[in-house]
A and B are shown apart, each in its own frame.
Chain A
Amino acid sequence: MKEKKWFIRTILWLLLCMAVFAGVTVVVDPYFHFHAPLAGISYRLYEERYINDGISRHFDYDAIITGTSMTQNFKTSEFNELFDCNAVKLPYSGAGYREISESLQRAFRHHDGIKAVLWGLDGTNLIQRPDFQNYEEYPSYLYDDNPFNDVSYVWNKEIMYHGVMNNLAMTLQGTAPTTFDEYSAWERTTGREAVESSYARRDSAAPDSGLTEEEKRVVEENVRQNVCPVIEQHPDTRFYLFFTPYSVCYWDMCYQNGRISAQIEAEKLAADLLLQYDNVELYCFYDDPDLIFDLDNYKDFLHYSAKVNSWILQWIQQGDHRLTKENCEEHTEKEKELYLTEEYDAFFEE
Chain B
Amino acid sequence: MLFNSYVFILLFLPVTLCGLFLLGKTENKRLSTDKPGKVWLILASACFYGFLNIYYALFLAGSALINFGLQRVMEMQTGKARRRGILALGVTVNLAALFYLKYWRFSSVLTVGISFITFQQISYLADCYKENGLRHDFLDYAVYISFFPKVTSGPITQFREFLQQLSGKNIFRPKFENLSGGLYLFAMGLAKKVILADTLAKLVNIGFSNIAGLHTGSALLVMLSYSLQLYYDFSGYSDMALGVALMMNIHLPVNFDSPYKARSVSDFWNRWHISLTRFFTKYLYIPLGGSRKGMGRTCVNILIVFILSGIWHGAGLTFLVWGLLHGLAMVAERLTGRRTEKIPVLGRGLTFLFVNVAWVIFRADSLSDAGLFFSRILVPGTGAVETALAEAVNNLVEIRILCRLGLQGLSDSFPFLMLLIVILIMLLIAVIPKNTQERLKSFSYSAGQTAATVALLFWSIISLSGISVFLYSNF
Residues on A facing B (Cβ under 8 Å): 2-7, 9-11, 13-14, 17-18, 21, 47-50, 69, 93-94, 134-135, 137-139, 151-152, 155-162, 198, 300, 302-303
Contacts and interface: CB of A to CB of B under 8 A. Distances in A.
Nearest to A9: B450
Contacts of A50: 467
Nearest to B472: A94
A10 B453 contact: yes
Given A6-B450, A69-B474, A93-B470, A151 B462 contact: no
Interface string B381-405: 0000000000000000100110000
Given A47-B467, A93-B472, A94-B472, A7 B179 contact: yes
B457 interface: yes
Interface in B137-180: 175-177, 179-180
A10 B453 CA distance: 7
A110 B116 CA distance: 49
A157 B397 contact: yes
B199 to A, nearest CB: 12
Nearest to A49: B470
5 contacts: A6-B180, A49-B470, A93-B470, A93-B472, A139-B467
A340 B166 CA distance: 81
Contacts, number: 94
Contacts of B461: 18, 155
A94 B474 contact: yes
| Top 8 closest pairs, chain A to chain B, by CB | A94-B472, A3-B176, A137-B468, A6-B445, A152-B465, A4-B176, A157-B462, A158-B466
A302 B401 CA distance: 37
Contacts of B453: 10, 14
A161 B396 CA distance: 10
B466 A157 contact: yes
B212 interface: no
B10 interface: yes
B475 interface: yes
A33 to B, nearest CB: 13
Interface residues of B, number: 32
Contacts of B449: 6
B153 to A, nearest CB: 23
B473 interface: yes
Contacts of A4: 176
Given A47-B467, A156-B462, A94 B180 contact: no
B87 interface: no
Interface of B: 6, 10, 175-177, 179-180, 183, 397, 400-401, 445, 449-450, 453-454, 457-459, 461-468, 470, 472-475
A18 B454 CA distance: 10
Q: Which secondary structure dominates chain A's binding surface?
A: helix
B466 A155 contact: no
A48 B469 CA distance: 10
B311 to A, nearest CB: 32
B450 A10 contact: yes
A170 to B, nearest CB: 14
Contacts of B454: 10, 13-14, 17
B323 to A, nearest CB: 33
Given A13-B450, A13-B454, A21-B462, 13 more contacts: A3-B176, A6-B450, A7-B180, A14-B457, A14-B458, A48-B470, A49-B470, A50-B467, A151-B6, A155-B6, A157-B397, A158-B467, A300-B474
Which of B401, B450, B474 has most chain A Cβ within 10 Å?
B474
A33 B240 CA distance: 33
Given A6-B449, A10-B454, A13-B450, A156 B176 contact: no
B445 A161 contact: no
Nearest to B395: A158
Nearest to A138: B468
A300 B457 CA distance: 47
Contacts of A17: 454, 458
A160 B397 CA distance: 10
A151 B176 contact: no
A94 B475 contact: yes
Contact of B10 (A21, A137, A151): A151
A159 B470 contact: no
B470 A155 contact: no
Contacts of B10: 151
Contacts of A2: 445
A2 B447 CA distance: 11
A153 to B, nearest CB: 8
B174 to A, nearest CB: 9
A36 B63 CA distance: 54
A157 B461 CA distance: 9
A162 B474 contact: no
B467 A159 contact: yes
A48 B464 CA distance: 21
A152 B464 contact: yes
Contacts of A134: 470, 472
A300 B183 CA distance: 55
Nearest to A186: B475
Nearest to B473: A94
Contacts of B473: 94
A255 B301 CA distance: 66
Contacts of A159: 467
Which of A7, A69, A158, A159 has most chain B Cβ within 10 Å?
A7
A161 B6 contact: no
Contacts of A162: 397, 467
A169 B459 CA distance: 22
B13 to A, nearest CB: 12
